[in-house]
Structure 1
Amino acid sequence: MKTIGVGHGTGKIILMGEHAVVYGEPAIAFPFRGVRVTATFNASAHNQITSSHYSGLLADAPEALQIIQQLTTHLCQQFDQGPFHLTIESTVPSARGMGSSAAVATAITRAFFDWIDVTLSDTDLLTYVNFSEAIAHGNPSGIDAATTSGSQPIYFEKGKDFEAFPLNIDAYLLVADTGILGRTREAVAAVAQLMKTKTEYTNHLIHHLGHLSRLTKEAIIHNQPHELGQYMNFAQEDLRQLTVSNERLDELIQLARDNGALGAKLTGGGRGGCFIVLCQDYQSVTHIQTQLKYAGVKDTWMQGLGVYEHV
């Protein structure tokens, strides 16, 4: 057993296929290392936690942190481990569709196994993170657990196993927060209503989004950033037609394109929340980031891809 155990988890974004995935079309989720969680375990007289939300005895933590209490209790019982002090540092924004709860569970699990000096397999990591996600969300798809604990894009369809594929595209990805809370439930209901009232047209949009997910996978594998940017732009227009974008998203996405983005689209549920911007190089991404901040976005995060990943 080590004196201190440390573990990390990353955020995630939906790159392509949101809303269409509900109707059986493929979607792609992406580990986003522009935001991350770090967890640290060390021995203590009592189970304690230090975090930005709460610091003190874990037993007295607010309801929002009870998921952490249940996961750590589960781990300690399985490995007959004594009391601990857990520290959590996170830059993953909550309620923004970036996999915050799964990233926290990933970091905690990795830190715990590092602390007790036991090898953690990828399969076991997913099991523990999905245990936590089931408490948080009831019946999770598992995609957040797979992406926040992995290093590759995930291609998935309803009812099928996830498929990881190589990340091989030379570009930068910028994620920007509009500052408006997303309205996922409302957006999903709106698409369902369109499916009833304009079935043929809505099906066409849904199928096209699925087609764009397939093309996106190939563009990433074959290092085609310009094609990927174009597919993102096409997807944004489909999502706008499905009424899951809004005026603020449209305005900011157009601003990014006007300032040199290869492509831009909303990510997640829509009607607020975040959007993503694909940029050719570092100069481009910093310029667009500045312009978006002038326009009032709440926050931005960037990640280098391909050859830029470790620059």
Structure 2
Amino acid sequence: MKNIGYGKANGKIILMGEHAVVYGEPAIAFPFSATTITATIRPSDSFRLHCSYYKGSLEKAPFTLKSIKTLVQQLEKEYPIGPILIEIDSTIPAERGMGSSAAVAVAITRAFFDLLDKPLSQEELLAYVEHAEQIAHGNPSGIDAAATSGNNPIYFRRGQPFTPFDLNVEAFLVVADTGIKGQTRTAVKDVAYAVEMEHELVEPVMPRIHRLGQLTREAKEAISQNQVQKLADTMNEAQTHLKELTVSNDLLDTLIHAAIDAGALGAKLTGGGRGGCMIALTNTKEEAQVVCKALEKNGAVATWIQGLGVHTYA
């Protein structure tokens, strides 16, 4: 066993397919390496956790950290190495739809196995993370775990295997944090109610759901064929439908308009909506920087830029 173990995970972004994925339509998620979580584990005199939210005994950690406690207990049960100190450093904002809880579990599991100096397969990693995510979210789809631990975009449909594919679009993605916790459960519930009451609505909901699915398919094709403008067009139309489904809010709308006015090709909310984050697409990094400034001027509390395809490490 080593003296210290390190583990790292990245954030995740839902590019297309929010809400529609609940009704059998596809969605696209991908790793967002501009935000990361690093876990460090070393032997200690007691089980302790140090993170931005809490420093102290793991046993006395607040309920919001129960998934971490459960994960460590499972790891320790299978590999009893004695008391450890877990230190977590994160730039992934919590409750913004960026996969923070899954990323924490990925980073801790990787750090634990690094401390053991033991290889860890992707299948084993995902099994541990799924166990932690069941505590955090009840019935996770697994997409957060796959996206925060992998390197490729993922095309997925409910109940079907995830399909990784190459990110092959010469563009840059801006992500902006509204500073408002996402309201995923409420938004999903409200969309479900609208679907249930569709027969009483002037404009049916399901055609929008199906169109969001079709836009996701078109976005995947655009990414594969390096069609930046087509990808942007799918994002813009998707936002129109998401807004009609009532999962946007005033600040998201303001930021989306600000991004377009600042030169973004496309912009939309990402994740559950009614808070959380929004995304915008640009051709160049310089254009992305201009968009970031406009978003911060209009209320975004943080912005990030990630290159796509050949620009991933730019």
Structure 1 residue 135 displacement after superposition:
1.4
Structure 1 residue 145 displacement after superposition:
0.8
Q: CA RMSD in A?
A: 1.4
Normalised TM-score (structure 2)? 0.95
Distance 2:154 2:129 in 1: 16
Structure-2 residue corresponding to 1:202? 205
Query: 2:56 matched to 1:56?
Result: yes
Distance 2:41 2:125 in 1: 17
Sequence identity percentage: 54
Distance 2:10 2:21 in 1: 23
Distance 2:141 2:12 in 1: 14
Query: 2:98 matched to 1:98?
Result: yes
Structure-1 residue corresponding to 2:228? 225
Change in CA separation of 1:67 and 1:169 when aligned onto 2, cut-off 3 Å: same
Give a deviation string over 1:273-298, Cα, whole Å, max 9, x none: 21111111110011110111111211
Give a deviation string over 1:85-133, Cα, whole Å, max 9, x none: 1110011111111111100000000111111111111111101100110
Structure-2 residue corresponding to 1:183? 183
The 5 A counterparts of 1:44-123 are: 44-123=44-123
Q: How many residues align?
A: 311
Structure-1 residue corresponding to 2:10? 10
Query: 2:177 matched to 1:174?
Result: no
8 Å CA contact 2:258–2:295 kept in 1: the answer is yes
Query: 2:247 matched to 1:244?
Result: yes
3-state SS of paired residue (2:273): coil
Structure 1 residue 72 displacement after superposition:
1.2
Structure 1 residue 142 displacement after superposition:
0.9
Structure-2 residue corresponding to 1:256? 259
Distance 2:211 2:267 in 1: 17
Give a deviation string over 1:131-185, Cα, whole Å, max 9, x none: 1101111211111111111111111111111111111112111111122333223
Query: 2:28 matched to 1:28?
Result: yes
3-state SS of paired residue (1:132): helix
Distance 1:62 1:190 in 2: 30
Distance 1:193 1:50 in 2: 41
Give the 4+ runs in structure 1 shifted more than 4 A.
none
Normalised TM-score (structure 1)? 0.96
Distance 2:182 2:51 in 1: 25
Distance 2:288 2:249 in 1: 23
3-state SS of paired residue (1:60): coil
Distance 1:178 1:216 in 2: 24
Distance 1:296 1:244 in 2: 19
Bigger drift between 96-105 and 66-75 goes to 66-75
Change in CA separation of 1:191 and 1:57 when aligned onto 2, cut-off 3 Å: closer
Query: 2:280 matched to 1:277?
Result: yes
